[in-house]
Amino acid sequence: MPQPPDALTLAGLPFRSRDRFPKPVLVGRCFESGSETLSNREFFERVRDVSLGLSCLGMKAGDRIGLVSDSRPEWVISDLAVLTAGGVTVPVYPTLSAPQLWFILAESGCRIAVVANAAQVAKLNEVTKGLPDLETVVVLDGEVSSDRFRIVPMRDVLALGREKRASDPGADQRYEDVARAVRPSDLATIVYTSGTTGDPKGVMLSHGNIMSNVIATTSWIGLTPEDITLSFLPLSHVFERVVFFRCLYDGVTVFFAEGLTTVARDLQAVKPTVVTGVPRVFEKFHGAIQEALGKLSGPRKALAQWAIGVGHESAGAWLSGEPLPAGTRFKRAVADHLVFAKMRARTGGRLRFFVCGSAPLSPRIGQFFFAINLPILEAYGLTESSPGISGNPIDAPRLGTVGKPLAGVEVRIAPDGEILVRGPNVMQGYYKRPEATAEALADGWLHTGDIGELSSDGYLTITDRKKDLIVTSGGKKIAPQPLENLLKQDPFVSEAVLVGEQRKFPAALLVPDFPKLEAWAERMHLRAESREHLVNLPEVQRLYQEVLDKLNHTLAQFERVKRFAVLPKEFTMERGELTPTMKVRRQVVEERWRAVIEKLYEWPVRELRTEN
């Protein structure tokens, strides 16, 4: 019998799983009533049948296939169905607006799109520019119709694949032969990442790029077929997608949460041993525990406070690599039994560790989780590096750093402090952007755009961002300049600065065009003693809320500006907020208006007063 395709390509992963990890549950999805699961063989058969079905619809090697759906088993099945046929997947966040969806599918030239439901088809129908390459839309849920595209339900794609196998005895072998023909150097996916000057760029990753990262992580984190994970991050983000590939490589069972709002419930049901997340997830978990602790009183409160103190003492020793004194070990065991075990029960009670990526984790949050024996291993990467660059080892973690470079990945610091990366995980380039590719890969190194330091013992620390890209605490990346420019198109806005680095959501600092605002206020018969009084008038706040509402309507959910402050003073060169060429100095503005920014993230928002 012929050997299965080499697992050094993504096309080989379904075969590796089928042959090496027989288990009754490989992939599942949680629901309120229970879960739906697939064994390793059922998963392989589903991937194969969808692949054959898509081929019956005209998919050929090299074709671009869009994936526009929430995270679920059908997402990864569709992804691997395309990859085993030699196709190229183009993941798209389902929360993107119609124009954003159009741009990605149009530039990448997708011939087929797999979408979640009618809402995504409606976005495609909404686009007026058209998608000349798009011929077929496969819909996972519901009955949908369109006079612009051929609509095929996923169940029909599966039926086509099964009919192909029934009518063609050689279909299985040809499917395996095609998968075997895929080479590590072949393009596997184009992942669009937010740019700083407008349209997103498509990062081209090969099978070899991603598989090198999958294999490199095996010497950082050990996983076995006995492990179980709950996945709730978007698969459109390369981080969670590569996590799934790593799980498939090692035979780890993967359950998908029904949705973000059901994660707490699904953790209880799945009882995972490993979970990946972003800082916002851990911030919410920490907040929920703190809220619960705040409701305690009397002896129970005293016990909890004592236990947490012991936990921090133990965590300090763990993180510094020092042995734990016998007395502290005993206290730790008592604290764990009486308090921490109940906290960990919120995660199902079996969790070995978390892995955190996509945005920096607060050391304060990290230490708390180490204190309750739920270690978080912070990692660092970029879409352009498939994505992993470094990770904190569980036997020697160091908070405030992103750990040591992964096996086979070289990291060095440029003279200007920029982190440079070289290795088999580095992208092929940006799709249709040779100049941007040459800039990012100058001198054979990936220029990350991040400023950092590398310690003498190899730990990498991110200290700043070379560019202005905002990364929220949920790991979403937002290019501020295009949004700021759109805001400044309104006649009442003179300047706009978006903030939100490591925050839950973006917010905006707005400088009014004061002559226009004051004239409008006079027409509205509004009286104000000063500009500070003027910008805090309810009528003025409503005016600028309308400005933001118009912008937010065109944006993806994660880009929408949730709060804003109308500043009482214009930016000036004298205070350093503007350059001689009248460009905004973002860091100076954020520092000068720090108190105002902090109030934007309080609840409720207080009246904004400043002495600046």
Pairing of strands 34-38, 27-31: antiparallel
346-389 per-position pLDDT tens digit: 899 999 999 998 777 878 789 999 999 999 999 999 999 999 99
- How far apart CA 51 and CA 83 sit, in angstroms, is 9
- Looking at the chain, how many residues does it have? 612
Averaged pLDDT, 284-289: 82
Say yes or no to pLDDT of 194 above 70: no
Contact 193, 201 (CB under 8 A): yes
Torsion on CA atoms 65, 69, 75, 79, rounded to nearest 10: 20
309-325 per-position pLDDT tens digit: 999 999 988 888 888 88
- How far apart CA 287 and CA 67 sit, in angstroms, is 34
Contact 50, 165 (CB under 8 A): no
404-424 per-position pLDDT tens digit: 999 999 999 999 889 999 999
**179 backbone dihedrals φ, ψ, rounded to 5°:** -65, -40
* pLDDT class of 532 with cuts at 50, 70, 90: very high
- How far apart CA 357 and CA 361 sit, in angstroms, is 8
- The dihedral through the CA atoms of 242, 248, 253, 255 has a sign that is positive
Say yes or no to pLDDT of 500 above 60: yes
Tokens at residue 348, please? 């199902």
- How far apart CA 589 and CA 567 sit, in angstroms, is 11
Nearest one of 291, 278, 213 to 245, comparing CA atoms: 213
Question: Helix crossing, 207-216 with 238-250: angle to 10°?
Answer: 70
CA angle centred on 238, ends 216 and 553, rounded to 5°: 165
Just give the CATH number of 479-600.
3.30.300.30
- How far apart CA 186 and CA 209 sit, in angstroms, is 10
SS3 538: helix
Homologous superfamily, domain 17-182: ANL, N-terminal domain (3.40.50.12780)
* pLDDT class of 464 with cuts at 50, 70, 90: low
Flag whether the pTM goes above 0.85: no
- How far apart CA 173 and CA 579 sit, in angstroms, is 65
Say yes or no to pLDDT of 579 above 60: no
- How far apart CA 409 and CA 469 sit, in angstroms, is 24
- Strand partners for 422: 410
SS3 371: helix
- How far apart CA 43 and CA 26 sit, in angstroms, is 7
Question: Helix crossing, 13-20 with 40-56: angle to 10°?
Answer: 150
Tokens at residue 397, please? 């973690």
In CATH terms, are 17-182 and 277-465 the same topology?
A: yes
- How far apart CA 151 and CA 136 sit, in angstroms, is 6
What is the 3 state secondary structure string of 518-572? HHHHHHCCCCCCCHHHHHCCHHHHHHHHHHHHHHHCCCCHHHCCCEEEECCCCCC
280 or 60: which leads in pLDDT: 60
Q: What residue segments make up the domains of the chain, in order of their start?
A: 17-182, 277-465, 479-600
Q: Which residues contact 179 (CB under 8 A, 6 or more apart)?
A: 5, 11, 12, 15, 84, 85, 86
* Location of structure tokens 């169940």: 155
* Location of structure tokens 């199902």: 348
Contact 220, 407 (CB under 8 A): yes
Just give the CATH number of 277-465.
3.40.50.12780
370-380 per-position pLDDT tens digit: 999 999 999 99
* pLDDT class of 3 with cuts at 50, 70, 90: very low
Say yes or no to pLDDT of 479 above 80: no
